[in-house]
A = this chain, B = another copy of it.
Amino acid sequence: MAGWGDLLGYAAATLTTCSFVPQVWHTWRSRDVSGISLGMYAVFTLGVFLWLCYGWLAGAWPIVVANAITLSLALAILAMKLRWQRA
């Protein structure tokens, strides 16, 4: 699969990676973390870290780059959840 298929994959990766930017911004501005599931971000962050390791082992740099960005955004949301959940 090449051409359109590759383009579709890059579009999908860009959207799922960038989608966490509005959540980081929303949470940073509102400090409203009660509706965010700690379980989701704990499990998701670990999963994205494993994707990063998988990409590294496979030498698949698009997977490494996309998951490194997603990992940093998910960690930011997780940190804000832990920091502000009792405020």
Residues of A at the B interface (CB closer than 8 Å) are 1, 4-5, 8-9, 11-23, 25-27, 30, 32-41, 43-44, 46-48, 50-51, 53-54, 57-58
Contact = CB atoms under 8 A, between A and B. Distances in A.
A16 B43 CA distance: 7
Contacts of A9: 51, 54
A71 to B, nearest CB: 11
Contacts of A25: 37
Given A8-B53, A53-B8, A57-B5, A15 B35 contact: no
B26 A44 contact: no
B54 A5 contact: yes
Contacts of A30: 34-35
